[in-house]
Homo-oligomer: A and B are copies of this chain.
Amino acid sequence: MRCKKCQEKAVIGLPRHNAAFCKGCFNEYVHDQVARAIKAQRMFGQKDRILVAVSGGKDSLALWDILLKLGYQADALHVDLGIPGYSATSREKVERFADAVAASRQAKLIIHVVKQEEGAGIQELANLVNRPTCSTCGTIKRYQFNRAAVERSYDVMATGHNLDDEAARLLGNVLHWQVDYLEKQGPVLPASVEGFARKVKPLYRLAEREVAAYAVLNRIDYIVEECPMAKGSKMLLYKEVLNHLESESPGTKQAFYWGFLDRQTETRPTAGSMAEKDQASLHPCTVCGQPTTADVCTYCKMMARAQAASPR
């Protein structure tokens, strides 16, 4: 297998592009795909300050790495969830990357520790509020990342969701025709109301295995294990199914997600409709001031329930 660009020995084949690349040309391909995503979706410019949400996994660390190499001002936020036997290692990977790569590019790492801030780790919190761990975790991370980006005046918040993540989420939403969720499934969520950070997904053009290959080839040391809480999750099931379709018919995921985006652009009634809708339905949480559709936001409700249920 030869590199499609330079004819050197290839290190990775990309059946969906009918291509193969050597390490150098593959890195170029990855950087190019991210640059195209940023430009095509008008995610941010060179002067914008970006906050990258980093978990310690391949996607978020690769994203941070790529944004820095493309010359963007990108700091990162890591939320330490306090999952026994998992969170400590995740945090270590993030800190190691920050020291080894980010520091030399004047990028800083911010760490939030859930246990310190809320008095309990994620599992304990989920038990206290009697909700599944993954949804509790989602609420906490969304809240923490958004608040940090807004309070620290970042122009945009970036997450490491790749093509597989987005295609799997889209499949789940389409299988259940979750039309309201479909509307918010693009790679850019505008800062529709005050208190909402602009959110972008610059890796949406790259498949999971491409991001993993990038991380490995560039010696990014990431946590390989899936989160132990995610076992049996619907997202993993949807990814499995899409991988099966992809192996029989390369390009399926891309056609599915990109086709959805093209169609969304056509059918979205007016450009500012999402902002209008949000402005009509959202107002500040009476406890924390973050935007919410209710009086008190989900996060504050959850924390109040956790405190009431806590024996401390």
Give the CA-CA distance A245 to B235 in the complex, in Å.
11
- Chain A contact surface mostly: helix
B260 and A177 contact, CB distance less than 8 A:
yes
B249 and A245 contact, CB distance less than 8 A:
no
Q: Which residue of B lies closest to A232 (CB)?
A: B248
Give the CA-CA distance A148 to B123 in the complex, in Å.
65
Q: Is A131 an interface residue (CB 8 A)?
A: no
Question: Distance in Å from the Cβ of A254 to the closest Cβ of chain B?
Answer: 11
Question: Distance in Å from the Cβ of A84 to the closest Cβ of chain B?
Answer: 27
Q: Which residue of B lies closest to A174 (CB)?
A: B174
A263 and B175 contact, CB distance less than 8 A:
no
Of residues 63 through 88 on chain A, the ones whose CB sits less than 8 Å from some CB of chain B are none
Q: Is A6 an interface residue (CB 8 A)?
A: no
Copies of this chain per assembly:
2
Give the CA-CA distance A33 to B240 in the complex, in Å.
32
Q: Chain B contacts of A249 at CB under 8 A? A: 234, 237
Question: Distance in Å from the Cβ of A70 to the closest Cβ of chain B?
Answer: 31
Q: Chain B contacts of A260 at CB under 8 A? A: 177
Q: Chain B contacts of A176 at CB under 8 A? A: 255-256, 259
From B237, B244, B245, contact of A248 by CB (8 A): B237
A245 and B256 contact, CB distance less than 8 A:
no
B252 and A245 contact, CB distance less than 8 A:
no
From B175, B252, B262, contact of A255 by CB (8 A): B175
Question: Distance in Å from the Cβ of A176 to the closest Cβ of chain B?
Answer: 6
Q: Which residue of B lies closest to A258 (CB)?
A: B177
Question: Distance in Å from the Cβ of A109 to the closest Cβ of chain B?
Answer: 38
Q: Is A216 an interface residue (CB 8 A)?
A: no
Q: Is A40 an interface residue (CB 8 A)?
A: no
Q: Chain B contacts of A234 at CB under 8 A? A: 249
Given A241-B245, A245-B241, is A252 in contact with B177 using a C-beta cutoff of 8 Å? no
A175 and B241 contact, CB distance less than 8 A:
no
Q: Chain B contacts of A245 at CB under 8 A? A: 175, 237, 241
Give the CA-CA distance A174 to B177 in the complex, in Å.
11
Q: Is A179 an interface residue (CB 8 A)?
A: yes
Of residues 145 through 191 on chain A, the ones whose CB sits less than 8 Å from some CB of chain B are 174-177, 179
Interface-centre pick from A175, A234, A262 (highest chain B CB count, 10 A): A175
B237 and A177 contact, CB distance less than 8 A:
no
Of residues 131 through 155 on chain A, the ones whose CB sits less than 8 Å from some CB of chain B are none
Give the CA-CA distance A263 to B180 in the complex, in Å.
12
Give the CA-CA distance A256 to B172 in the complex, in Å.
10
B177 and A263 contact, CB distance less than 8 A:
yes
Give the CA-CA distance A252 to B174 in the complex, in Å.
11
Q: Which residue of B lies closest to A248 (CB)?
A: B237
Q: Which residue of B lies closest to A240 (CB)?
A: B244
Q: Which residue of B lies closest to A234 (CB)?
A: B249
B175 and A256 contact, CB distance less than 8 A:
yes
Q: Chain B contacts of A259 at CB under 8 A? A: 176-177
